[in-house]
Amino acid sequence: MSSVGAIERLARWVIVQAQGTAYRGVGGYSTDSFAAKGDRRPFPQADVERDQFEEFFKLFGNFPVREAIRGKDVLDFGSGYGGKTVEYRARCGARRVCGVEPFDNMVDLSRKYAHQRGVDVEFQRCGSTDLPYSDESFDIVLTHDVLEHVEDPRRSMAEIRRVLRPGGLSVNLFPVYFGARSHHLDYVVNLPALHWVFSARTLVRAVNHVLTANPQFGTALQPAPRRSFDGGREVLPGLNGLSGLHLKRLFEGFETLGVRRIALGPRGMGLIANTSWLPVQVRDLVTATVACILRKPAVGPE
């Protein structure tokens, strides 16, 4: 028990010490958290998402994602606060855009944001495996930092495939769990690789201690870790343990048009991350995000 306590105290100490460095926490993402930092814009989260709009397309390299959206029916799977979702209609010229999220408050804010922008976009609340749309409803389904959060990414991808028309595209951007910066603890600490050093349970206890002592972070206490979607390990709250080892199974039923591992470091260090001779676990460690383009086969199996 004493050794467990010592490890937890070490994790707390590391988090607290990081606050005096460039690795300090950035605070929560709630409206109240933005207001506490003096940001009283009516839709701060949507504005942040909108600012990331152009960067999203750059991460797919030469594949013309933006051009592919024009004139198409588009689903934003995990649309957040609607910042990018609205732009798919306003700037990309999509014929129809729908966004889905599992949280009522986010759907409500997204609808208000779209109304304020004067852009016709539909937002619906639903889970990650029960999309409220019939088979073959969309030409393109986009996900951005979503697949690492859903309960089971394999089931979510199967649902995406269901609502895609034959020949439709699934455009996805997501980190892998063991990436150095993939712990999603940036609200309290940005130090990389913490989840390599400390267990998920230790980190949750340490983070909650820091949050209790420092309410200025503007984030609720974190729930206990859960099992990864494959049952292999405990993972940090809100994450499912998706790793590079799962990608082949994840992409089943699709034609893979392109997969790019964008690594940490200057200009993404893409050549290092894409070095196929390295074990996938090693590539995961230096991966910041995975950008993949998948296509639903135009003709089903005989």
- In order along its 302 residues, the chain shows pLDDT tens digits of 456 689 999 999 999 999 999 999 988 888 878 887 888 899 999 999 999 999 999 999 899 999 999 999 999 999 999 999 999 999 999 999 999 999 999 999 999 999 999 999 999 999 999 999 999 999 999 999 999 999 999 999 999 999 999 999 999 999 999 999 999 999 999 999 999 999 999 999 999 999 998 877 878 899 999 999 999 999 999 999 999 999 999 999 999 999 998 987 755 544 455 566 788 888 899 999 999 999 999 975 44
pTM assigned to the model: 0.93
287 lies in some domain: yes
Q: How many structural domains is the chain composed of? A: 2
β-strand pairing of 234-235 with 96-101: unpaired
**DSSP SS3 for 140:** strand
Six-digit token string for 111 = 């609808």
301 lies in some domain: no
- Structural domain that includes position 220: 2-24+186-234
- 229 lies in the same domain as 248: no
- 18 lies in the same domain as 120: no
- 216 lies in the same domain as 90: no
CATH classification of the domain holding 144:
3.40.50.150
Other beta carbons within 10 angstroms of residue 121's beta carbon come to 25
- 113 lies in the same domain as 138: yes
- 133 lies in the same domain as 274: yes
- 70 lies in the same domain as 205: no
Instruction: List 287's β-bridge partners, or say none.
Output: 263
32 lies in some domain: no
35 lies in some domain: no
- 222 lies in the same domain as 82: no
